[in-house]
Amino acid sequence: MFEVDWKTPHLWRKTAPPRPAAAALDGDITTDVLVVGGGFTGLAAALGARDSGVNVVLLEGNEIGSAASGRNNGLVISHHSKASPSEFEAAYGRTLGERYNRMVADAAGVAFGLMQRFGIDAHQVQEGWIQPAHTETTLKRARIFYEEWKAFGANVSWLDRKEATDIIGSPYLGGWKVLNSGHINPFAMTVGLAAALEREGVRIFENARGTAIEKTGDGWRVTTAKGSVTAREVVLATNALTGDVWPGLKRTLIPFKVFQSATDPLPDDLRARILVGNPAVSDMRNDIRYFHYDCDNRLVSGGTHTLWFDEADRGRAKVSQMLGQAFPAFGGAPRMVEYWHGTFAVVPDRRPRLYRLAPGLVFGGVYSGRGVALSLSLGQELGRWAAGRRADDQMPLPVTAMKPVPFHPVAVQIANRMHPWHRFKDGKA
Ligand SMILES: Cc1cc2nc3c(=O)[nH]c(=O)nc-3n(C[C@H](O)[C@H](O)[C@H](O)COP(=O)(O)OP(=O)(O)OC[C@H]3O[C@@H](n4cnc5c(N)ncnc54)[C@H](O)[C@@H]3O)c2cc1C
């Protein structure tokens, strides 16, 4: 159910600049910090460690960006997944809650800053992210997000019913906007960042899946099919595709599969009435509606599977129907051309995880669908931590032992079949 067809070209891959494949690991090498996983978390961790002045190796089991980081919707959002800033403070306590909220508030700016620092062309557009509300209940919730982030000092604005409806081109009651946010071609960002890391001296190996981890003198040896890497510190950034590389780790997160779909490039008259000013949008439904343009004015959106995993025609039909309902300017259901899917990691409390698995061996990630901006910030912190530049109590998240998801096999099935329940709740909200 959760395999990724990582070789099938998808929209982001087709429109990203080409990048030569990284080297294959053949033999045994040694480094200071080893990062396992070549998504945003792993790439950013490698950067954080390298910027701290240590030698870094990164192992990616498939290709860089082949998983969630290269196939997501591309929304770069400085906001939590569902919770408000005060709810995080209540959960983490004042000091840690504030530190975490600060990282989230700055995360989109950090992401766009990386593109600028390394000259990465990820088709980035920093015209803000809007979260509109479709009911009075969700409007109140949107107002809480807006008020709390404003009080925190984030660059946010409020949109009334007319502004939200006119900008988005779809009827909403109002909403809030985060101005440092936006959208990217995420695959272009992964390969651009990997190329930048190689220029900075990070050694990256693709098709190098870590299959076992064993303790050596004062560090760890990670074995792959054709070699091994021995390092003082190891960062696991394997997210939803975490396998059996460390006992029990995969039972601490739920892989959740979603699909993406895109129209053909829209003509100018539609482009002028839908998403005016090129913002990123995701609304407050449980069966969330989200959209933005790619570099050629395709409208990119997505949805959730229920029972029909991998059925592209049904996925396209669902998004087509949703876009037709959302945007009167289409005058019917638009044709969806592109289709692909991916898997992200979710946990019931929707709080990212930092696990110390053993001395010198850590895991970080799990963003519950809101990881593009956050992984690029949290990943760098992970790298600094591994390089000895951060103590546990300086991290923006609690450093804990593994937290297994209760009744994991059942939880995985339930989470991936919640879609009808979400639609039901949307009807009631
Ligand atoms: C379809 C989709 C749409 C999304 N849309 C958005 C969005 O618009 N905005 C947003 O903020 N978030 C979104 N997300 C979530 C976001 O993409 C993720 O939270 C984020 O990319 C996670 O990055 P990561 O590096 O932690 O994990 P991943 O990108 O999954 O990377 C983990 C990597 O580890 C590798 N790996 C695993 N095990 C091993 C091993 N043993 N050895 C070597 N390598 C290994 C995998 O091959 C993989 O490349 C979406 C996710 C999906 C799937």
Identify the sign of the CA torsion 216, 210, 195, 40.
Answer: negative
Ligand 1 in reach of 39 Cβ (< 6 A): yes
CB-side neighbour CA atoms (13 Å) of 161: 5
pLDDT in tens, 170-214: 999 999 999 999 999 999 999 999 999 999 999 999 999 999 999
Q: Which residues pair with 165 in a beta bridge?
A: none
Contact 77, 373 (CB under 8 A): yes
Q: How far is the CA of 367 from the centre of ligand 1 (A)?
A: 9
Q: Which CATH architecture has domain 20-72+187-247+351-409?
A: 3-Layer(bba) Sandwich (3.50)
CB atoms within 10 A of CB 266: 20
Task: Choose the residue to mutate in 25, 57, 72 for probing ligand 1, maximizing ligand atoms within 8 Å of C-beta.
Answer: 72
Token look-up 């101005």 returns 179
Ligand 1 atom with least separation from CA of 370: 11
pLDDT reading at 412 higher than 80? yes
Q: State both tokens at 362.
A: 């850590």
Task: Choose the residue to mutate in 6, 43, 64, 69 for probing ligand 1, maximizing ligand atoms within 8 Å of C-beta.
Answer: 69
The Cα–Cα gap between 286 and 179 comes to 23
Domain layout of the chain by residue ranges: 20-72+187-247+351-409
Q: How far is the CA of 123 from the centre of ligand 1 (A)?
A: 19
User: Average pLDDT of 273-292?
Assistant: 96
C-alpha closest to that of 296 among 75, 15, 10: 15
How confident is the prediction for the chain on average, in pLDDT? 93
Q: How far is CA 252 from CA 212, 353, 366, in A?
A: 18, 9, 9
Ligand 1 atom with least separation from CA of 66: 49
pLDDT in tens, 49-83: 999 999 999 999 999 999 999 999 999 999 998 89
The per-residue pLDDT for 419 is 66
Ligand 1 in reach of 237 Cβ (< 6 A): yes
User: Average pLDDT of 129-143?
Assistant: 97
pLDDT in tens, 22-58: 788 999 999 999 999 999 999 999 999 999 999 999 9
Q: Which residues pair with 290 in a beta bridge?
A: 282
Q: Is 192 helix (H, G, I), strand (E, B) or coil?
A: helix
**DSSP label of 8:** S
pLDDT in tens, 342-388: 999 999 999 999 999 999 999 999 999 999 999 999 999 999 999 99
Cα–chain center distance at 415: 18
Nearest-CA residue for ligand 1 atom 37 is 238
Ligand 1 in reach of 36 Cβ (< 6 A): yes
Token look-up 């766009």 returns 112
> Would you put residue 121 in left (φ > 0), alpha (ψ -120 to 50) or beta?
beta
pLDDT reading at 425 higher than 70? no
Task: Quickly state the pLDDT bin for 1 (edges 50, 70, 90).
Answer: very low
Q: How far is the CA of 69 from the centre of ligand 1 (A)?
A: 4
